[in-house]
Amino acid sequence: MGLFDSNKALSARCVGISNEGCGVVRIEEKGAKEEGMKVFVHDMLPGEKGRIRITERKNNMTYGVKTGKIESSKNRCEPMCPEFPRCGGCQIQHATYESQLQMKESMVRNCLVRMGHFPENEIRACMEKILPSREQFYYRNQMQYPVEYSREKRCVNIGLYERNSHRIVEHEKCFLADPSAEIIRNVAQIFFSGLDQIEAAKALRQIVVRVGMMSKEMMIIFVVNKPVKINAEAFVKTASEALKNAKNGMRIVSIWTEERPSGTKWKNPKGVWTNIWGETTIREILGNRVFRISPDSFFQVNSKQTVVLYDKIKEYLRKDGVLPRMLLDLYCGTGSIGIYCSDACHHMYGIESVESAVIDARNNARSNFIEDTEFFCCRAEDFDFGAMMPDAIIIDPPRKGCDEKLIEKLLELAPTRIIYVSCNPATLARDLQRLFELQQEKGAKYGIKSICPVDMFPNTTHVETVVLLSKTSEAPKKEPSLKFSDMDEQETEVL
């Protein structure tokens, strides 16, 4: 602990929420050497006060725990899930939904101001009110259930990981998952605990369930660490009976295995995919568009709220009343954004690095009778745009954000507008800062016209953000640049 006394209780006030759902707490103990220190404390909400105890300092971050009675916030509520204190699936289910929205708005704004170094008054002026989700529970169309095999009990345990660990929490149901995914989990729990499935159970590492909420089609992926025989016919028969009894209209149409040998990096797996039963894809319906989804293709996890997100993107494409002649959709995945917005442009090109997703995108364009659309398999930052002169570009990168080389190419292409769709406010702020710094060298080109957070993930700290950048002849105003390390000393307040 070094300078800190782990046994000392200190007065503190929670001023914000971290990306992991911990309370961002400031020490208010007068005269103490820790006064003003920022500490991350689990299960504290903005506005709550009380006494905490510092437990550890790790990676320049200080952590603590509550000790004694805490003055509760008016925004605290009883979580629906009894396993919420342990399970890592949710982070803020103990906060009212209205306060969750306020936290997410504040998170986006603070990242742009603290990390992007944009003037706060300008961010507030162009930031729209967050778009809420109509459903706060049972919205996830994809679930990844870790599996562990007990040699002692000769059975499997399938659930979700405990917070900050790889221990599986036994739970009756997940309140975020589509109920049909939980039915599959319960069936698998019994099925793979049978003596005739013991070899498959030992090899099983994860079960992924993908649900077409509108199409009522389901895909199941068994992730294994070695080749193993799974009786898919018997599993489908048992699971279909359970789905029928639930009277939800869901049906299994596709089952895959993905073989990931032991030692393979899970964050960037290179598995062997095998279709062991049924079709190779499932369908999902967004608005009046139908999309086919392969097992390894990205698709938004909240189908109903995806329509809200895509409608906002389409609104930004039409912002000035002139439809783009040429639209580039980068990191396009299965082509869902570009195809959904195809009636807001004349011609669209999609770029995606995952080959199966590109195949899906081409098939999706054909099945939706979308012409004047082309998709290419390539990393967006490596694509040769040649003589392309797009009027608008949509970028929807993964959580790590954009490659700096791509940001340079965006400035070279110089479209009238850029729409950045982000699931990570921190990398969004970093990328926008990079873009504004790079354009200073080549003359001013873009200004932030609109920012709209969209709540795609209720009861978690995750938030989607849509930013509209418009070409401008004026240099965007910037405050003196701060170092990223200064972020550790900034107070993340929820206003």
- In terms of Cβ atoms closer than 10 Å to its own Cβ (0-12, 13-18, 19+), residue 441 is exposed
What was the pLDDT predicted at 92? 96
How many CB atoms lie under 10 A from the CB of residue 172? Answer: 10
The alpha carbon torsion through 421, 450, 314, 410 (nearest 10 deg) reads -50
What was the pLDDT predicted at 4? 61
What was the pLDDT predicted at 150? 86
* pTM, rounded to two decimals: 0.90
What was the pLDDT predicted at 41? 95
Same domain assignment for residues 129 and 254: no
What was the pLDDT predicted at 182? 97
Same domain assignment for residues 410 and 342: yes
What was the pLDDT predicted at 245? 96
Q: What is the CATH number of the domain that holds 422?
A: 3.40.50.150
Same domain assignment for residues 248 and 330: no
Given pLDDT bands bounded at 50, 70 and 90, which one contains residue 269?
A: low
What was the pLDDT predicted at 60? 85
In this model, does residue 494 exceed pLDDT 70? no
- Residue in 81, 174, 332, 423 annotated catalytic: 423
Domain containing 154 equals 142-286
Same domain assignment for residues 179 and 117: no
Same domain assignment for residues 310 and 273: no
Highest-pLDDT range among 302-306, 403-407, 413-417: 302-306
Of all residues in the chain, the percent with pLDDT exceeding 70 is 92
96 lies in some domain: no
Give the residue-averaged pLDDT of 1-27: 83
Give the residue-averaged pLDDT of 279-296: 95
pLDDT tens digits for range 104-134: 999 999 999 999 999 999 999 999 999 999 9
> Is the distance from CB of 306 to CB of 328 less than 8 angstroms?
no
Buried b (16+ CB within 10 A) or exposed e, 142-162: bbebbbebeeeeebbbbbbbb
Give the residue-averaged pLDDT of 67-75: 91
In this model, does residue 75 exceed pLDDT 90? yes
155 is catalytic: no
Q: What is the CATH number of the domain that holds 35?
A: 2.40.50.140
100 lies in some domain: no
Given pLDDT bands bounded at 50, 70 and 90, which one contains residue 368?
A: very high
Same domain assignment for residues 263 and 372: no
Buried b (16+ CB within 10 A) or exposed e, 280-301: bbbbbebeebbbbbbbbbbbbb
What was the pLDDT predicted at 486? 40
Same domain assignment for residues 440 and 463: yes
> Is the distance from CB of 130 to CB of 453 less than 8 angstroms?
yes
Distance between CA atoms of residues 356 and 377, nearest Å: 9
Same domain assignment for residues 155 and 237: yes
Q: What is the CATH number of the domain that holds 255?
A: 2.40.50.1070
Residue ending a domain, choose from 286, 310, 340: 286
Same domain assignment for residues 273 and 306: no
Domain count, the chain: 3
State which H helix or E strand residue 160 sits in: strand 160-161
In this model, does residue 477 exceed pLDDT 60? no
Tell me, what amino acid is at 33? Answer: K
